Chain A
Amino acid sequence: MTTTNEAATLAAIDLACVRGDRSLFQGLSFALVRGTLLKVEGPNGVGKTSLLRILAGLARPEEGEVRWNGKAIGGCPDFAADRRYLGHHNGHGLALTVRENLRVAAALQGTPCAGASLEQAMETVGLAHAGDSPVARLSSGQRRRLALARLILGAAGVWILDEPLNALDRAGQVLFGGLLRDHLLGRGVAVISTHQTLTLPAGIRQQTLTLAVSS
């Protein structure tokens, strides 16, 4: 299988990011075809989170642009519906139950929220028994699992995940590996920053982007 004649689905073109008076990166470009995982690596403070937030459309780059199927992501409704972002914060209302949080997430993401698919997602991430517990009572690992459940509500084209393995136990990491494999095999794209090793079956396209401290 050759990748050269396949059009890139997520492309970064000449991105530059400035924090305060420090330039984090510039001239950063890459192109990902469907079914590719991009791992973003580098030491702390090098701009991994900033890059992911730019790719997700939460922050604007100083220069350059991000394209989704050839169109700039700003104001592109297709991209907005196709993107799942998981940052350092899980984005749960702490006083709401697991099920209520998922229902809100489904409505916001634009996924039709049939009760069955919510139960299915909770089951997959191992929170089926905790559906009616407030998130405030969950452990941080369980909260991360709930955030993973949001990813699998409805199919999405691109996952942008910032340290998704944080707080997850060994079983949780295996679970995440499985979800990621299914996502990539389903022709999705993923951009992930992590300091831990992701074990994926052979045959999955992976690229690594190493950010270095710029002077």
Chain B
Amino acid sequence: MRTSLATAWWAVLRRDLLLSARRLGELGNPVVFFAAVVSLFPLALGADAGLLRSVGPGIVWVGALLACLLSLEGLFRADFEDGSLEQLLLSPHPASVLVSAKILAHWLVTGVPLLLITPLLGVLLNLPPLAQTVLFGGLLLGTPTLSLLGSVAVALTLGLPRGGLLISVLLLPLFAPVLVFGAGAVGSALLEMPVLPYFYMLGAELALAVTLVPLATAAALRASLGS
């Protein structure tokens, strides 16, 4: 008799959330970084409301992207070093499904806090309510894509001694479309133009990433551990 895949998936998700909850210091890093970057811009650019409004969405998106990049390096690192990743890959359950639980946990502890403080930052940048809603919606669709895409790069560079730089180089081109459509949606909302096309693109990227990335990440982890 074997336990079901759902039990194993849930066990992995719960494990990663518990581990994050016990390392609250690390958990706060990306969100503090995000808030710092975004709130420094008004100080640097001056209190010109019109200027802030036009560059604000871009600043928030770039901040979220960099915060995500910062948090990604730790996604598999500890598990790689303590051998937990080996045990995960040795499970009779498909590694791609188990890996998807780890990616979801990563998004829950890094992406969701970013989302939660976004309304506050929107006020700081003097964005109108509609633009704020669009910004939030875009990040809601975009940040899971960032976590997913990031997991492939992190998995590929696990065995390498200086993976950090390589992760950034690999990811910036993959992150670019998310940034373009995410920031573009808010820009469009500010001009009172339709925003739905941008959301369709963000949604399409998310759907593609959800279906393909876990397979790629699992394969990359196998390759990293097999060498």
Contact = CB atoms under 8 A, between A and B. Distances in A.
Interface of A: 53, 56-60, 77, 80-81, 83, 85, 87-96, 100, 103-113, 134, 150
A56 B10 CA distance: 25
A112 B3 contact: yes
Contact of A113 (B3, B84, B91): B3
Given A60-B226, A107-B8, A112-B1, A96 B90 contact: no
A81 B5 CA distance: 13
Interface of B is mostly: helix
B18 interface: yes
B226 A108 contact: no
Nearest to B90: A85
Contacts of A106: 3
A93 B82 contact: yes
B175 to A, nearest CB: 29
B90 A83 contact: yes
A107 B3 contact: yes
Given A58-B89, A108-B93, A110-B8, A96 B18 contact: yes
A165 B81 CA distance: 20
A58 B90 contact: yes
B205 interface: no
B26 to A, nearest CB: 11
Nearest to B23: A95
A88 B83 CA distance: 8
Interface in B1-28: 1-3, 7-8, 10-12, 14-15, 18-19, 22-23
A126 to B, nearest CB: 21
B226 A89 contact: no
A96 B2 CA distance: 24
A80 B3 contact: no
B84 A93 contact: yes
Given A58-B226, A104-B12, A107-B11, A96 B92 contact: no
28 contacts: A57-B90, A58-B89, A58-B90, A58-B225, A58-B226, A59-B226, A80-B90, A85-B87, A88-B83, A89-B81, A90-B83, A91-B83, A91-B87, A92-B84, A93-B19, A96-B22, A103-B11, A108-B12, A108-B88, A108-B90, A108-B93, A110-B8, A110-B91, A110-B93, A111-B2, A113-B3, A134-B22, A150-B87
B82 A91 contact: yes
A87 B86 contact: yes
Contacts of B18: 93, 95-96, 100
Nearest to A111: B3
B98 interface: yes
Nearest to B22: A95
A110 B78 CA distance: 23
A85 B3 CA distance: 19
A138 to B, nearest CB: 13
Top 8 A-B pairs, shortest CB-CB distance: A89-B83, A107-B11, A91-B83, A80-B92, A110-B2, A81-B92, A95-B22, A108-B91
B82 A94 contact: yes
Interface in B56-86: 78-79, 81-84, 86
B83 A109 contact: no
A42 to B, nearest CB: 21
A77 B90 CA distance: 10
A89 B88 CA distance: 13
A69 B134 CA distance: 58
A105 B3 contact: no
Contacts of A60: 226
* Residue of A87, A134, A150 with most partner-chain B CB within 10 A: A87
Contacts of A85: 86-87, 90
